[in-house]
Amino acid sequence: MLQLKNIKKSYTTGEFTQVALDGININFRESEFVAILGQSGSGKTTCLNVIGGLDQYDSGDLIINGKSTKDFEDSDWDAYRNNSVVFIFQSYNLISHLSLVDNVEMGMTLSGVSSAEKHSKAINALERVGLEQHIHKKPSQLSGGQMQRVAIARALANDPDIILADEPTGALDSQTSEQIMELIKEIAAEKLVIMVTHNPELAEVYADRVIHFKDGRVVEDSMPLANQRVNENYEIKKTSMSFATALKLSGKNIATKKWRTALTAVASSIGIVGIALILSLSNGFDKKISSYESGSLLNFPLTVTQGISTSMSNMTGTDFFKEAEGAYPEESKVFSHDAAKEVVVHNNIFTDEFMNYIKKLDSKVLDGISYSRNVNMNILKSDGKTASAVNTGSVNITSFPTKIDGDSESYLSNYYELLAGDYPKSENELLLVVDKFNQLDVSAMEALGLDYKAKEINFEDIIGKEYKLILNDNYYKQKGETFSINSDSANLIDLYNEKDTINLKISGIIRANEDVGSAALPAGLAYSDTLAEFFIDNAKDSNIVKAQEKADYNVLTGEVFSEVSDNPYAVTREKVLMSLGASVLPNTISLYPSDFTGKDIITKYLDGWNKNLNDDEKIIYTDMSSLITGLSGGIMDGITLVLIAFAAISLVVSLIMIGIITYISVMERTKEIGVLRALGARKKDVTRVFNAETVIIGTCSGLLGILLAFILTIPINIVLEHLTGLTGVAELNPLHAVLLLTISLSLTVLGGFIPAKMASKMNPVEALRAD
């Protein structure tokens, strides 16, 4: 019937390992009442959970009806718990929002028993335990003894081979305990009943066989049984929960929280209303937008960024179309300010083949090209007494564009105004770039060693400011298996004064011409790409790079590299080598078209690279001028953009809210999850229960959103007619209504996906212990 062969089970917490079962060997008969006794921590409850398939043994074998479970998969254990074994718990573990009949039917529901048959069996089981008068009550309406009888009825209804009772009378008074024990003893006449208890008196009076546990071992067995033959042909019927059953469970749970569900549906519908209004208005608005391209936008390059793309902080709001007050001042001063940055991410991967492809681009369509390299060039600043590294994370340091023939001044002069100093004449000369307000971010000013606390700095105090470029072999020294800065980290003045350093200085200050619009170069420091290439050529032969090429950890920090190679944020050998200057591949390529015809040729050329490539292999570029012109138009600027922003924010809020609500539901129904798993529910069944809950909420919010959107089109059409003279623009299409309902369902299911998965991965033993 049931055999335990040398079962071992241990639990490890940190460095401590607790042995719960240490070689258990027990054979059970098909029908007997076995009581397992032992002190707390002796392993008896763990043994019961292993027998019940809630916990998996480490080694040995559990044999069920002659079949070994060594090769059981999760689905086999689920089927075993549903068909062959059932639990009677000390705390009853009934699902609170279901009636007694529904609780008793649950195990049979997972077995695929028909509705009529399972209802009949549930009634018979409840009659057998004396609860035929209470079948429609909820568990909260019963006494402790009655709830335990319901748990016994649930155990009997699915006709299992084995019944496991974990302290079934622990929460009951003496009289009720005797009644429950008599009932269990009666069941043991036809089934195997294994009971764990602390009460030796109950065991001696009611049990046919008493087994004593101590320190995870069997120390006494009053009626042992010889070994039984293994039969590999034994099969267990698989379990399954229909989505209709999941809807029923979740629906009854939601019914107990009507107001919370209603408020959730209303809040979720706001995003759907926004999308509905955009769909209603889009056709009318699109016809009113004329596409235009202005010569003032030509300076915007086509940008290809490897990994994380560029900042959009200067490209928002009305700055696209309207000049801000105070731009392009006449004062010869740099003004500090704080700027928020919004980052757009795309994981482009540059290869040598792609770089060669770029080099073959027709020079006639290019007015300039620049490369920004993700390399730490070890630039130091000094105040004369102390020196420190320029914090490249706080200031934009990028290469300025050069023409194909290598001339940078002629290109820069077309789009940038020289405010002070001269254009670079050698690779060691730098440019300070300010924005149209002559501003530089305070963090950038601090990083460059400028007086960031001052409100303004004269140009002449910046021109000629010197920095030192330290090559890798001078900058790093090796200590054991790692490298560190070859100087006092608090003051790098010794490195700064090294004779082998390379002098750098700011030769000029520039800003974008007023008629250009928005600058392509970000505010910060600009250098020639020749300087970067020089540093890279030297770095490739440096000691730290050679050591990093051989090491499987970061030689600067000792951190082992991430094994997740496709994670764009993971620290890898390639990224560290690139930061040390070992890679000639740039981080960003900016292509400056000669005219709009040239821009079209360049975009088609870049699109040609992506042909026949998978989405994750494609190179995505940013065409800023097209983006700006695409966003223009009074109607779209005045109404559609507002609705898009409103809808996008609402949808994000809805997603987060649904995730929170589902997570709360998971926490509230933790014990129910444990009960379902104990009854044989699969992980996918648990996920299905919570997905069903989000489907109900999504359907309600979608229908409500469609109704509200239909009502709102009336005042919107009135406003549009008054403002633009357009009539009947907003009209909700029935097909859009269906689409909205689909979106609502998709969003709610997506929002609840992670909590639902969390629920399915809960340990059933721990879930059953939840209050």
- Identify whether 246 is part of a domain: no
For residues 650 and 620, state if they share a domain.
no
Closest CA relative to residue 453, chosen from 439, 466, 463, 443: 443
If asked whether residues 402 and 550 sit together in one domain, one would say yes
Distance CA 90, CA 85 (A): 17
Domain that holds residue 336: 295-631
Q: Choose among 118, 96, 93: nearest CA to 107.
A: 118
| Residue 136 CB-half CA count within 13 A | 0
At 14, is the secondary structure helix, strand, or coil?
A: coil
Same domain, yes or no, for 383 and 493? yes
* Cut 0.85: pTM above it: no
Cβ neighbours around 600 below 10 Å, total: 14
Burial profile 511-529: b = 16 or more Cβ within 10 angstroms, e = fewer = bbbeebbbbbbbbbbbbbb
Residue that terminates a domain, selected from 631, 653, 681? 631
Tokens at 457, concatenated:
């700095």
> Same structural domain for residues 641 and 615?
no
With DSSP H G I counted as helix, E B as strand and the rest as coil, what are the percentages for the chain, rounded to 5?
45, 20, 35
Pair (188, 207) in one structural domain: yes
Q: What are phi and psi of 641, to 5 degrees?
A: -60, -35
Which pair of tokens denotes residue 407?
A: 């001339």
Per the structure, the count of domains in the chain is: 3
Q: Alpha-carbon distance 188 to 35, whole Å?
A: 11
The answer on 695 and 588 residing in a single domain is no
Per-residue CA distances from 604 to 247, 305, 594 (Å): 51, 18, 15
pLDDT at 504: 94
Structural domain includes residue 646: yes
Q: Are residues 337 and 202 in the same domain?
A: no
Per DSSP, the residues of 283-332 read: HHHHTTPPP---GGGTTSPEEEEBSEEEE-TTS-GGGGTSPPTT-S--SS
The reply to whether 183 and 314 lie within a common domain is no
Q: Cα separations (Å) of 148 from 131, 152, 681? A: 11, 6, 21
Q: What is the DSSP letter of 62?
A: E
Q: What is the CATH number of the domain that holds 63?
A: 3.40.50.300
Residue 247 maps to a domain: no
Same domain, 568 and 645: no
Query: What is the pLDDT, as a whole number, of residue 547?
Result: 92
What's the CA gap between 35 and 221, in Å, rounded? 10
pLDDT, position 284: 61
Output the CA–CA distances (angstroms, integers) from residue 523 to 335, 396, 398, 469, 512, in the order listed: 12, 7, 10, 21, 10
End of a domain among 207, 240, 273?
240
Instruction: Give the C-alpha separation, 381 to 391, whole Å.
Output: 10
pLDDT at position 460: 93
Instruction: Tell me: do 577 and 709 sit in the same domain.
Output: no
What is the rounded distance in angstroms from the CA atom of residue 43 to the CA atom of residue 739?
56
Residue 291 CB: number of other CB atoms within 10 A?
Answer: 9
Residue after which a domain boundary falls, among 587, 606, 631: 631
Residue 649 lies in a domain: yes
The answer to whether residue 248 is domain-embedded is: no
- Closest C-alpha among 347, 336, 349, 354 to residue 395: 336
Indicate the burial class of 226 (C-beta count within 10 angstroms; 0-12, 13-18, 19 or more).
Answer: exposed
pLDDT value of residue 319: 38
Q: Is residue 529 part of a domain?
A: yes
Please give the pLDDT value at position 135: 84
Within a domain: residue 299?
yes
Whether 215 and 102 share a structural domain = yes
Residues of the chain short of pLDDT 70, as ranges, are: 227-238, 240, 283-299, 307-325, 338-346, 374-375, 402-408, 410-411, 515-520, 563-569, 596, 624-646, 648, 726, 771
Is 552 found in the same domain as 653?
Answer: no
Nearest to 24, CA basis, from 33, 2, 454: 2
The answer to whether residue 245 sits within a structural domain is no
